[in-house]
Structure 1
Amino acid sequence: MAQVPGQQLSSKDLGLFRQVVRHFESKQYKKGLKTAEQVLKKNPNHADTQAMKALILHSQGHTTEAFDLAKLALKGNMKSHVCWHVYGLLWRGEKNFEEASKAYKFALRLEPDSQPIQRDLAYLQIQMRDYEGYIESRRNMLQQKPGFRQNWTALAIAHHLAGAYDEAENVLTTYEDTIKTKLSRTDIEHWEAVLYKNYIIAESGNVEKALDHLEAVGKRSPDVLGVMEMRADYLLRLDRKDEAEAAYSALLDRNTENSAYFDGWVKAKGLQDVEPSEAKQAYDEIAAKNSRSDLPRRRPLDFLSGDAFREAADAYLLRMLRRGVPSTFANIKQLYGDASKRKTVQELVEGYEAGKVPAVADGSEPVTEKEQENFKWSVPYFLAQHYNFAASRDLSKALEYADKCLALDPNSVDFHAVKARTYKYLGNISKAAELMAKAEELDLKDRAINTKCAKYKLRNNQNEQALEMAGKFTQNKTSGGPLADLLDMQCIWFLTEDGQAYLRQRKLGLALKRFHQILNIFDVWQDDQFDFHNFSLRKGMIRAYIDMLRWEDHLRDHPFFSRMATSAVQAYILLADNPDLALGPMLNGVNGTAANGKMSEADRKKALKKAKKEQEKMEKAEADKKALAKASKPVPKAEADDVKKEDTDPLGKTLVETKTPLDDAMKFLTPLLEFCPDVLDAQKVGFELYMRRKKYLLAVKCLLKVRSLVPEDADAHFYAYQLRTELENKEQKPDEKVVELVKELAKDVLQLDVPVNEWNENFAKENKDKSVRHAQAYVQVNDAIDPSSKAENEKTIVSSVSSAKDASLTDLTAGLETLQIRGSSSDVVESYKAEARKTWPEADVFATTES
């Protein structure tokens, strides 16, 4: 390529330029920047150095400056593949993969043989799941370096992921045919590729061919267990049951606690089609060979029934309880979906508590003194958990048995924890947190109980104490303290609970800060794939790599994501409805302002002044904390280049001061609805957000999904009313085509042919005494239709509590919030609390002001 005027470097400066590249690759950004400045001092228009400097600036967080410099470099030398490559890397860093791909492709036109550019383009294509483009890139790389095994394997992966199984198999076979020497068993890369080929054949549906291939190569593979598992699976799928039974028996000999092996063994023996007694006998034979194994004794309880179940459950429970196994209930509770089995287990264990116990263990061996001691505490401990469990809940009995346990051993961590759990279900979160703190004090080295204690403190809105508790098991070496360590460890559960606690307190800045931090962690997990596109090929771990890619495709399906994203959207909706919340929690309607969420100007000024003082206090505390950390733990010089960027907004002030909360919420809602469409709360917040954004078609889609998930959901009634009102709103004048389409899609839900008063009354009659939530939905609509009926509606809400003796704590809490938001009088609120306390006397939320 002809040299552009002003672009040529002297040999000394060329050496410095190469140093810039090395410094960037080793993440020594300060040194790289300094060296780039040296080159540009003599050659101010050298485009490649400008591009590398831009890349370093971008890595340091100076995004705007980096893009400006990269564009200047391109303007100086449009024919530099380095500049286009860097431009692509900058776009990739901004997650604009389309623009990055265009830049890489332009760079390849200028330098078709550049392996780094081709490699980066290939990584981008697999990250985007552009399989056709990935196949083309990998084919080009293979043609450039056909002797490099990784290129063959990568092309096979590209075909496999695109669904072209035959092509993927042919690529691997072609390479195998080129191998002239006998490969040793220690060549992990080769044998992993061989098993990967077998994996492809099986996934294509040709199980017979996969088995033949496995029989031919499996004996030489170092992955003995993997081969055994694959062979057993193939034999079962081919219905060669005798051989499959032998294969799974061999696997069970290696590990009798693997549930998947038992599943295969059951299918191979055909035990799912035989009499339960025959299946039980087969399990007993395995149990006899493995005296310490639990699974063959536990499994029969799943399919036995009646007297046979009682006998087997009796033997199993006696064995576990006498041994003092704390996890006995955790093993048993899956049976509670069957009411008869739940009742049998309860009768058996309560019988043990009453002294109805055989004198010998397992029908033969005398009960030892140690077993008798274990039995004294394990039975009440089991019953405490039993009565805590949702399907068999009786919290007064759970508390009784928890106290029995503590009378036997006041220093037991488990006994304090089960009592704390009982109080949590009773709604007394403060008492639960106190008891869990006592449990934690009994064993300061137990990380599990430390985690529980921190979680309970967060549920009790004690954020600082929870962070201090969690900090006992963090390094606390960074300037950010325990929170920075928890962020480094990507401790999602803590950040989620922390954010939800701040949301309950209406500290929306801190709540949004946590939710954005979690969103960033999910983005990091997504971006981490870039590291493995090369690493997995280099290490030859292909099957694990394929599993990882498929796991990443469902990354945001996880409940952790849906919980966080739902809470984040709720926070933004609160902020959009009441912008004053950005000033502080004391400006929140639930905490005492008028029903319309507004307050008098004088009160607002007072609250604003108080909020500013609180904000200044928090900022000062944060600054003092940072100063103390820096003074006590100075950063070593050797680590100076690796210091993380300082968080300039630790309190989420920038996030909460947004002028576009509804638009910001879409960053959470879009992936939430895409990946978690069956989460009820996700559809509910989706409806509320779309209604506020006047996106009626999307809103009705969420409403219909709510109705399909829970046909009798109470909130859907109020949502339908909101939609009816908006469609008939003459001032807003929605698009007529949209209105007609919405009416057609939701005609069964909206019932527009029925007058709204009659429609609401029909709802009340159809759902009379069904639940507190249905009464609340009726009242919400009635309030909107006729504001003058406020007093009557309040009576309806209070009376709905007294008539619903089995109302859940969640439903009753929602009713209380409804009254508070409506600005109901203190007398009405106290009447509601008094009625709710009859059902939930321990609940903190219904406590009187005096208590």
Structure 2
Amino acid sequence: MTADFLRLSRSAIDDTITQNLNALETPARSGFDPTSTSRVGPRPLSHQIDAAACNAFKDQVLFPSWQVRSDVLSYCSLVATSPDPDDPERALREAENERNREKVVDERLDPYSARFFPREARTEHLANVLRSASSNQMPQTLSTREANLFRTVIRYYEDKQYKRGLKAAEQILKRNPKHGDTMSMKALILNAQGKTEEAFALAKEALTIDMKSYICWHVYGILYRTNKNFDEAIKAYKFALKLEPDSHQIQRDLAVLQIQMRDYQGYIQSRLAMLKARPQLRQNWTALAIAYHLDGNLRQAENILTTYEKSVTTTPLRTDFENSEALLYKNTIIAEMGDIERALEHLETDCKNCLDRLAVMELRARYLAQLGRKQEAAKAYRALLDRNPEHPEYYKGLINSLGIPAVAEAAQKAVYDEYAAKYPRCDAARRLPLDFLSGDFFRSTAKEYLTLMFDKGVPSTFANVKHLYSDASKKDILPALAREYLEELSGGSVARDQANGDSSKGEGAALYFLAQHYDYYLSRDLARAMEYVEKAIELDPKSVDFHMTRARIFKHQGEIARAAEAMDHARSLDTKDRYINSKAAKYQLRNNENEKALATMGLFTRAETVGGPLADLVDMQCVWFLTEDGEAWQRRGNLGLALKRYHTVFNIFDTWQEDQFDFHSFSLRKGQIRAYIDLIRWEDRLREHPFYFRAALNAVNLYLSMHDKPQNGTNGVEAGQANGEDAAERKKAAKKAKKEAQKAEREAAEKAAKQDPNKAGAQKGKDGEEAKKKDEDPNGVKLAATTDPLGDAMKFLWPLLQFSPRNIEGQFAGFEVFIRRKKYLLALRCLKAAVAIDRSHTRVLEQAARLRKVLDGAMDSLAPKVKGVIETELAEVPGA
């Protein structure tokens, strides 16, 4: 501590002597030279300093400064060791008395203290630091018995036996109340039990007691990580690593957080340190290669993998999965660098015995095609087609390798016919030619395909060909062929071998095809669609598919109630089919029957789940149901439950993002490197998913409506409607919904108890589980009572704008939020993005006019630079 004091004091006054020496010269002629403080020898003076001035300097400056320095040190030492630390005056009096008695200056002291005086604030502070350090106890050490008990605490925590771990920690702290490591472990257990605030307070107290304990810092980082404050967790891990550089566990935790936060440079450094610590583990070499790969340094990634391969003296076994995957991963890196020739050579030499034979065959065919070795590429693609004749990309690769141009329809068709004859049950060889054929050639091929499908009674025939409806001529030919098929059946001109000897299958399949054709949005005629589906139902009244299409037609007619009823009837025809059950629930939600839909979904949920069917659907991350349920509640005016559902969807996507934690180490341990790279890249685009976009856009629009029409703190009741009949009706409806939800939960609990009485209370016996399951705002009342709806909307909006910039609806929503928040530059950016997507859209013109109108009244309050940018950019927006 004394050394720290000396360092601090020197840093403040190390130029004192030099300044005084310089002051002996006339300042007007030669001012203070700051470089003189770093000179080894004296700088040449412009004139000789006389002896009188030197003596005056020694007597009035140098010796007194040494004396003051001695006084300061004596004062700090006495204050720090004072028997009465609360009486600094006592120590000061003793220091003054000692100074009066002292006549000789200790020349061993550093003569840099001319600015310090015993009563100066800085000196008081430094003395208090010394006194505090001396009064604090050193970290307590544990006896052998208690050290073993501490290891038991760690084991209890790892086994999630939190109550036992807490009890053991209390036993240690009873005898050693200031043992920082035990306090940290207790904090970790409290955090696992959901007591976050208490855990952080205890962890901070442990750090104040033992700042140099790497365990305390490690636990502090774990607490931040579990509470999703990853930046602070990384800082704590780094500090712990400084105290314990050899800790593999801390290094691994730090590396995992760095890759999670996409800190590739930090991840490289961490993996390099782990490699130096354990170079014998292949996964450390592979992890470092991954770090360089993700950072874009492909050459270095390849070098790392090559270095390890050269260090291996024994030949790996052919069954070594980790070696096989590492070789294929290295091959993909070489290919990403653009060196296809070398990638092919590496594939044929080093990867010839890799276990993933399909990947080797696909890569080889692709490399040969890219290198222009068409004959070999064609042979490779034929081998792939023999392995899987249903893969459309193999056909494209074969046709390109054979050099068949796109206009040569007959030559392309011959390739498909070859495999249709070779594999009679192959569907792709018959369906794919419909994509490029035209005219009579298309008609004859389509007739052959549809006839085969109708004869088999395949219900998915229309789904297989509806993508062809973007071509107007094909859109007319396909239904005509279906009608011809029906005419041939009714006329009896052609005898057919129907599937399973059932002559009605072909007719029903053709009628079903036509019903779907007229229900499709590109060829919609709902009256004719209903006519055809009714005929199909007459042939087979028990067909679930026919009744589903009938319900879909009702929906497109706008008869939502009849659609929900028809879909529920289809569900009743096959109560063991989860798909039709989900369809029925979806249509019930479209009809705003939330409670009925939840009961329908409950037929396929786990009965023993605490919280009933809804809790199980949340656990199963059933995003579509939560989104539809939120939209239904929003239409019914229950904004709290609507927001609750949208926030649940947001949390599910957060969970998917955090699920990466499970694979950062697992993938390396199992050697699944290529799949891991795909996972990382997929996670980077996670919120591009349409499920997220839909829920987030709904939430943003709902928050906008809440901002425009403020609520009085209840679910969906506007401030102006708080009194009156409408408020009473809404209150009554909310009460009814609450009762129905409680009833559904009771029924689910009773059902679970009947199935297995022992499971009814099983969940309560687990440590802390009941607390985690408890939802403090199940009905979204707190969400609906927000006082900053626009601020809450930003949580959903930023990912929309970042990951779905080409979706115009997201840009429109961003404009609406930013213009209300008076963020005019951001609103203009959203508007320009919408213009780039579709400049003729009506909302683009409307928002441009609104922005111009708002800016006309707000320009004077903007900064000149902002005003100039807005004027320049707004000039490029149509209608502004």
TM-score (norm 2): 0.80
> Is residue 148 of structure 2 the alignment partner of residue 15 of structure 1?
yes
- 1:414 matches 2:545: yes
2:401 equivalent among 265, 268, 276: 268
- The answer to whether 1:85 aligns with 2:218 is yes
Residues 1:570 and 2:701 are matched in the alignment? yes
1:368 shift after superposition: 7.4
Q: Distance in 2 between matches of 1:283 and 1:502?
A: 51
1:827 paired residue number = none
Output aligned runs, 1:781-800, within 5 Å. none
Moved more, 572-581 or 609-618: 609-618
Establish whether residue 657 from structure 1 lines up as the match of residue 785 from structure 2.
Answer: yes
Farther off after superposition, 60-69 or 294-303: 60-69
Distance 1:621 1:349, change over 3 A: closer
165-174 vs 741-750, greater mean Cα deviation: 741-750
Pair 1:705 & 2:833 matched: yes
Q: Does 1:335 align with 2:472?
A: no
1:4·1:77 contact (CA, 8 Å) conserved in 2? no
Render the CA deviation track for 1:411-441: whole Å, top value 9, x for unaligned.
2111110011111111111111110000000
Q: SS of the counterpart of 1:271?
A: coil
Q: Aligned pair 1:729/2:862, yes or no? A: no
* C-alpha distance after superposition, 1:304-349 (max 9, x if no partner): 1111111111111111111111111011011111111111112212
Task: Name the CA shift for 1:695/1:280 in 2 (closer, same or farther; >3 Å).
Answer: same
Letter in structure 2 aligned against 1:666: M
2:849 is equivalent to residue 716 of structure 1: no
The alpha carbon displacement at 1:137 in A equals: 0.7
Structure 2 residue 562 is matched with structure 1 residue 431: yes
CA, structure 1 residues 308+618, in 2 after alignment: closer, same or farther (shift >3 Å)?
closer
Q: What TM-score do you get using the length of structure 1 for normalisation?
A: 0.82
What secondary structure, in the 3-state scheme, does the structure 2 residue paired with 1:355 have?
helix
Q: Give me the whole-angstrom Cα distance separating, in 1, the residues matched to 2:405 and 2:745.
A: 63
Counterpart CA distance in 2 for 1:688 and 1:560 is 22
Query: Is the 1:436–1:452 Cα contact (8 Å) retained in structure 2?
Result: yes
- Among residues 484, 488, 491, which one is paired with 2:615 in the alignment? 484
**Cα distance in 2 for residues equivalent to 1:355 and 1:448:** 35
1:400 equivalent among 505, 528, 531: 531
- Indicate the residue corresponding to 1:634 in structure 2: 761
Q: Can you list the C-alpha shifts for 1:598-643, whole angstroms capped at 9, x where unaligned?
A: 747xx63554455455555555655666567667422267645555
How far did 1:92 drift? Answer: 1.9
Aligned 1:683-702 pairs, distance under 5 A: 683-702=811-830
What aligned pairs does 1:272-311 form with structure 2 within 5 A after superposition? 272-273=405-406, 275-311=408-444
Q: Give the stretch that moved more between structures: 441-450 or 83-92.
A: 83-92
Is the aligned partner of 1:496 residue 2:627? Answer: yes
Determine the C-alpha separation between the residues in 1 that align with 2:142 and 2:850.
69
Measured against aligned partners, the alpha-carbon deviations of 1:226-248 in whole angstroms (never above 9, x if no partner) come to 21122112111212111111111
Alignment gaps of 5+ in structure 1: 589-597, 753-851
Segment drifting more, 619-628 vs 6-15: 619-628
| Aligned CA distance change for structure 1 residues 208 and 447 (closer, same or farther; 3 Å) | same
| Distance across 1 between alignment mates of 2:677 and 2:877 | 44
Partner of 1:465: 596
Mapped partners of 2:878, 2:516: distance in 1:
45
- Distance in 2, Cα, partners of 1:359 & 1:426: 36
Change (3 A) 1:456 1:612: closer
How far apart are the structure 1 equivalents of 2:392 and 2:735?
56
RMSD value, Cα: 2.5
**Residue 181 of structure 2: aligned partner:** 48
- The answer (yes or no) to whether the contact 1:696–1:738 under 8 Å persists in 2 is no
Q: Return the offset for 1:58.
A: 2.4
Q: Which of the numbers 582, 599, 604 marks the counterpart of 2:723?
A: 604
Rounded to whole Å, the distance in 2 between the matches of 1:368 and 1:521 is 45
Of residues 782, 795, 798 in structure 2, which corresponds to 1:667?
795
Alignment of 1:181-196 (within 5 A): 181-196=314-329
Q: 1:15 deviation in Å?
A: 1.9
Residue aligning to 1:248 = 381
Specify the structure having the higher radius of gyration (Cα).
2
Q: Which residue among 239, 250, 257 is the counterpart of 1:124?
A: 257
Task: After TM superposition, give the deviation of residue 28 of structure 1 in Å.
Answer: 2.7
Structure 2 counterpart of 1:95 = 228
**Residues 1:358 and 1:679: Cα distance change in structure 2 (over 3 Å):** farther
Gaps of 5+ in 2: 1-132, 754-759
* Larger mean Cα displacement after TM superposition, 695-704 or 290-299: 695-704
Alpha carbons of structure 1 residues 620 and 274: separation in structure 2 relative to 1, 3 Å? closer
Q: d(CA) in 2 for partners of 1:624 and 1:456?
A: 22
Q: Give, in angstroms, the shift of residue 262 of structure 1.
A: 2.1
Q: Paired residue for 1:546?
A: 677
Tell me the equivalent position of 2:331: 198
In structure 2, how many angstroms separate the alpha carbons of the residues matched to 1:637 and 1:528?
26
Q: Deviations over 1:77-131 (max 9, x none)?
A: 1111111111212222232222221111111111111101110111111111111
Contact 2:187 2:203 in 1 (8 A): yes
* Matched AA of 2:781: K
Structure 1 position 520, deviation (Å):
0.8
2: CA distance between counterparts of 1:731 and 1:316? 66
CA distance in structure 1 between the partners assigned to 2:860 and 2:174 by the alignment: 61
Shift of 1:553: 0.8
Partners of 1:359 and 1:367 within 8 A in 2: no
Residue of structure 2 aligned with 1:373, choices 494, 504, 518: 504
Name the residue aligned to 2:100: none
AA paired with 2:361?
M
Shift of 1:688: 1.1
Q: 1:353 to 1:83 in 2, by over 3 A?
A: same
Within 5 Å, which residues of 2 pair with 1:148-167? 148-167=281-300
Contact 1:322 1:371 in 2 (8 A): no
Question: What is the CA–CA distance in structure 2 between the aligned matches of 1:520 and 1:31, rounded to whole Å?
Answer: 32
**Other-structure match for 1:175:** 308
How far did residue 722 of structure 1 move?
A: 2.4
Contact 2:156–2:164, Cα closer than 8 Å, also in 1:
yes
Within 1, Cα distance between the matches of 2:674 and 2:565?
48
Shift of 1:686: 1.1
Corresponding residue for 1:526? 657
Contact 2:825 2:870 in 1 (8 A): yes
Give the partner amino acid of 2:706: L
Taking the aligned partners of 1:398 and 1:488, their CA distance within structure 2 comes to: 39
* Correspondence for 2:40: none
CA distance in 2, matches of 1:576, 1:395: 40
Q: Contact 1:727/1:739 (CA < 8 Å) preserved in 2? A: no
Q: Name the amino acid aligned to 1:646.
A: K
Deviation, 1:486, is: 0.8
CA distance in 1, matches of 2:740, 2:341: 68
- Superposed CA deviations along residues 152-210 of structure 1, whole A, max 9, x for unmatched, are 11111111111222221221222222222232222211211122111211122111111
Determine the C-alpha separation between the residues in 2 that align with 1:24 and 1:401: 65
